[in-house]
Amino acid sequence: MDPLRKTPSEIACECPLTKSEGVRSGAIKLAVLGAFLIVLAGCAHSTPSVTSNCAGWRQINPTSADIGVISDPLAGEILSHNEHGSATCGWQPPTLLKATD
C-alpha cells in the first residue's frame, strides 16, 4: 500500500510504543540513570587520604658509609625529600644506621 494513502486507523496502529511500553521504557531509563549516578558517586572522595599520597614513597636513611661518599647536592636532596615526607606523611626524622660490611 502507498504510504501516503493510509487510513487514520492504519496510522494509529503505527505508534511505536503503547502507553504501558512507554512507561516501562521511562522506568528503564530512570533505573539506568540511577545506577550510573550510584557508580559515579562511588568514585568521589570528600577528603584525600594521607596514606594514599605517601604509599609509594619512603624516607631515605643513609648509612655512615653513605655519608662519607655522597656529594653535597645529593645530601641536600635527601634532606629535602625527608623533610617533605616528614611534613606531609608524618615520617620520623631518619636515624643514622651503621654500615654492614
The pLDDT tens digits of the residues spanning 39-83 come to 877 766 555 554 557 878 888 888 888 888 999 999 899 999 988
For every residue of 41-58, DSSP letters joined together read: HHT--SS--HHHHHTT--
Contact 94, 61 (CB under 8 A): yes
**Burial (Cβ within 10 Å: 0-12, 13-18, ≥19) of residue 41:** exposed
* Each residue's pLDDT tens digit, 11-31: 655 555 555 666 677 888 889
Q: pTM for the full model?
A: 0.42
- Whether the per-residue pLDDT at 4 is higher than 90: the answer is no
* Mean pLDDT, rounded, of the chain: 75
